[in-house]
């Protein structure tokens, strides 16, 4: 099982930075590295990005088996609907695991592929399950560090002198949508956010 988990982590840590158009090439590379390791029970058919770890059966299974069925809710606004698919499952899973161990996550990709929708839905789900207080910020080239502070501070409460934090028993997770460089200051400096 350890070898299979290692391959999964290897694919998503190193290969997670690879553009999806190059996944096949990376898949071939990884399969060649582990072809003589019988303990690494690699999924057959499709690329390794299409597989998750099934801990009960101790092998890799396709993400398709984890995709929940979509149930239409008439009371939800149209733009709040998320039809689950393989990408929402795998990226939601990775986000959940990294957030649960206090690691930062950066989703990259082309415009319109659903990065924000997936991250937002997963954080709202985690808000209920893990006492997480999600904060959603939308950045633009006009966003300043002062404006960023003005958006965050009201969501925090005073803990002790000079210390702010989320409500007791909660962790705050900030989703920054459209991470851009801040607006240039008068003399050309770009302060960090």
Q: What is the pLDDT of residues 74-106, one digit of tens each?
A: 888 887 778 888 888 989 999 999 998 999 998
pLDDT value for 85? 87
Mean pLDDT, the chain, whole residue set: 86
The separation between CA 91 and the C-alpha centre of its own chain, rounded to angstroms, equals: 5
Q: Is 105 exposed, middle or buried (0-12, 13-18, 19+ CB in 10 A)?
A: middle
2 phi and psi angles, rounded to 5 deg = -60, -40
Q: What angle do CA 170, 174, 178 make, to 5 degrees?
A: 170
Report the distance separating Cα 99 and Cα 111, nearest Å.
24
- For residues 49-66, give the mean pLDDT: 86
Q: What percent of the chain has pLDDT over 90?
A: 21
Report the distance separating Cα 125 and Cα 178, nearest Å.
21
pLDDT value for 57? 81
Q: What is the CA radius of gyration of the chain?
A: 20
The SS3 of residue 8 is: helix
- pLDDT at residue 175 above 80? yes
């Amino acid at each position: 099982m350890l070898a299979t988990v290692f391959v999964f982590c290897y694919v998503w840590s190193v290969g997670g930075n690879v553009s999806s158009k190059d996944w096949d090439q990376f898949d071939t590379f990884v399969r060649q590295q582990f072809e003589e390791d019988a303990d690494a029970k690699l999924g057959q058919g499709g690329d390794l990005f299409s597989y998750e770890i099934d801990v009960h059966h101790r092998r890799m299974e396709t993400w398709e088996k984890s995709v929940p069925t979509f149930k239409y809710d008439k009371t939800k606004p149209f733009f709040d609907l998320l039809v689950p698919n393989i990408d929402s499952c795998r990226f939601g899973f990775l986000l959940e695991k990294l957030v649960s161990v206090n690691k930062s996550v950066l989703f990259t990709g082309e415009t319109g592929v659903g990065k924000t929708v997936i991250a937002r839905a997963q954080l709202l789900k985690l808000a209920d399950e893990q006492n997480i207080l999600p904060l959603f910020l939308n950045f633009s080239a006009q966003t300043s560090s002062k404006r960023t502070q003005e958006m965050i501070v009201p969501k925090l409460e005073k803990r002790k002198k000079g210390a702010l934090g989320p409500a007791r028993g909660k962790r705050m997770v900030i989703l920054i949508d459209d991470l851009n460089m801040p607006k240039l200051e008068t003399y050309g400096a770009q302060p960090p956010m």
